[in-house]
Chains A and B, each alone.
Chain A
Amino acid sequence: MHKWRRTILFLFLLLTISGHTTAASLGSLFGGGGDKAKMQDLGGLLKSAKDAFGEVKPEEEQAIGREAAAVLLGAVPLVKDKALQRYVNQVGYWIALQSERPDLHWRFAILDSEDINAFAAPGGFVFITKGLLLSMTTEAELAGVLAHEIVHVVAKHHLQAVQKGARLNLAAGLAATQAGSVDRDQLDKISAGFKEIYSRGLDKNDEFEADRKGVILATRAGYDPYGLAATLQTLGAMNPADGSLALLFKTHPSPGQRLEQMEGLFAPLESYAQQPAIKDRFQREIAAAKKRNALAAYGQRQQMAICRQLAMD
């Protein structure tokens, strides 16, 4: 029976691909009246297999990314500082240009949270929290983290995780959007899928891949290859009980493990070891943003607002 089922499915697959028949006509082809319901059931299974691994078109990927970005921005607002956002965008885009997908609509943003983390969303969205940015001392460190996130986008790690996890028909949901009739139900499922991925994290091998390829991308862009490793060193020295590290540590392998996995990368990159880390420009940008009061903690900003108010009264 098992073998027979498999044969039917295989035939079904062939026929569906060649477009000669549908589930209903296949049912009559085999003439087994009582098997008709079963055939449709199997058709559903097959459809989910195809959907889960179907290619998502670039414009669909961008629309899916918008949903994912909206989820993140619903949880954390943007840092309201155009100059600093522009700086991070220029650093990030320069690295993205060295990737296999330079033509994506790349967008980089600083999230207004003390939390230490970074995120990517399909279609070219990359986010870094203010907390992580403030833990860095050089542009090479920023470049390393952005490069890690760029790899997640280039390799479509989130898309694959959401498709696999939720068995979502991403393409179908978006096709409806483009036809003008927004299938909010499908889009809500996509949002839910991303909430799940951002809370639970990607496969740890996706993280190691993003580290390995991220180091290469940042080095291609001309940076000191050790930027990402330096950031991981800093994170590894922090108290893991700190609330600002909780989500990062829940969703990623430990900094120590990641550093260990990266070790073999550096010998082949020895000839690039003298590339600049760019400390001055980075610290200038951060200092200027601090002066504009763009990076203060929420409590501090409130205090300053109160002080200003008192001074005026």
Chain B
Amino acid sequence: MKKILLPLMLCGCSLTALADPAYTIRATELKKKPFNDATTIMALSEKTVVATLQREGGWYQVQVNDSKGWIRMTALRLGDGTTKPGDSGLGSTLQFITTGRSGSSGVTAATGVRGLDAADISNAAPDFKAVDELEALTSELEGASAHAAQAKLKSSKIDYLPTPKSTGSKKSSNSSSPLPWE
């Protein structure tokens, strides 16, 4: 019985992933393979709705009508593009499958499950016993490099990229001066 259960569970996961709708946020191309220089199957206009099949790096394999191909992640947003508060579109149906509750506000309230909110944090009594528990849980960090090597992860030296101009520098946007007399 147990042997059957695990593949079934995994299968369930991949099936929900299969159904994820997405839409293009700009005109883009459906490629035969997940590479920039791969053959273009067709041009897609902005706001084309597609079904995502899987992700590979910065590419999503999608189905558009009868064609299967790859779209750059940066040209795509997951979701049906119509999800709004209280909306029961495709997006919230999917959510029901993955989290066991509907995204529509009515059902969320009805299940009595709600998120961690600001009040929970404001009213929290600091729990130092739990911090000690955490320390005990995390005393085996030496294995991290071996754990990485096991999955064939190789580290590289890569510099951070400069702050793009559009976000603006934090210092210049900060109007309150650190000097109290100014």
Task: Using CB atoms and an 8 Å cutoff, list the residues of chain A in contact with chain B.
Answer: 5-6, 9, 45-46, 48-49, 52-53, 66-67, 69-78, 82, 85-86, 89-91, 93-94, 97-98, 106-109, 113-117, 125, 129, 131, 134-135, 137, 139, 191, 195, 198-200, 203, 205-206, 208-209, 212-213, 216, 219-226, 229-230, 233-234, 236-247, 250, 256, 259, 261, 263-266, 268-269, 272-278, 281, 283, 287, 290-291, 297, 299-300
Contact = CB atoms under 8 A, between A and B. Distances in A.
Given A45-B180, A113-B116, A246-B117, A73 B134 contact: yes
Contacts of B128: 66, 70
Interface string B57-87: 1100000000000000110111110011111
Contacts of B56: 277
29 contacts: A72-B121, A72-B124, A73-B134, A78-B130, A78-B134, A89-B137, A90-B147, A91-B144, A117-B116, A191-B126, A195-B121, A199-B122, A216-B161, A225-B57, A225-B58, A233-B77, A233-B78, A239-B103, A240-B84, A241-B104, A242-B95, A243-B108, A243-B109, A243-B113, A247-B115, A256-B77, A261-B164, A261-B167, A273-B58
B160 A216 contact: yes
A76 B120 contact: yes
Contacts of B133: 78
A165 to B, nearest CB: 11
Contacts of A66: 128, 131
Given A221-B153, A264-B161, 9 more contacts: A74-B127, A78-B133, A90-B141, A131-B99, A137-B13, A206-B170, A229-B73, A276-B152, A283-B10
Contacts, number: 270
Given A199-B121, A237-B20, A273-B57, A209 B163 contact: yes
Contact of B158 (A85, A220, A247, A250): A220
B156 A219 contact: yes
Contact of B141 (A89, A205, A241): A89
Contact of A221 (B22, B87, B148, B180): B148
Contacts of A220: 155-158
Given A71-B121, A242-B103, A266-B58, A236 B77 contact: yes
What 3 A-B pairs have minimum CB-CB distances, sorted nearest first?
A239-B103, A237-B79, A222-B153
A285 to B, nearest CB: 11
A300 B112 CA distance: 13
Contacts of B116: 75-76, 113, 115, 117, 129, 247
A94 to B, nearest CB: 4
User: What is the interface of chain A mostly: helix, strand, loop, or mixed?
Assistant: helix
A266 B164 CA distance: 13
Interface in B95-121: 95, 98-100, 103-105, 108-109, 111-118, 120-121
A235 B164 CA distance: 24
Contacts of B181: 5-6, 9, 45
A207 to B, nearest CB: 10
Interface residues of B, number: 90
Contacts of B156: 219-220, 222, 272
Interface of B: 6, 9-10, 13, 17, 20-22, 55-58, 73-74, 76-80, 83-87, 91-92, 94-95, 98-100, 103-105, 108-109, 111-118, 120-128, 130-131, 133-135, 137-138, 140-141, 143-145, 147-148, 150-161, 163-164, 166-168, 170, 173, 178-181
Contacts of B86: 241
A86 B137 contact: yes
A297 B91 contact: no
Nearest to A190: B126
Contact of A238 (B95, B138, B148): B95
Contacts of B150: 281
B147 A91 contact: yes
A211 to B, nearest CB: 10
Nearest to B178: A53
B137 A82 contact: yes
Given A107-B138, A199-B121, A237-B83, A74 B158 contact: no
Contact of B155 (A86, A203, A222): A222
Contacts of A78: 130, 133-134, 137
A287 B141 contact: no
Contacts of A244: 99, 113-115
A112 to B, nearest CB: 10
A93 B141 contact: yes
Contact of A74 (B77, B91, B125, B170): B125
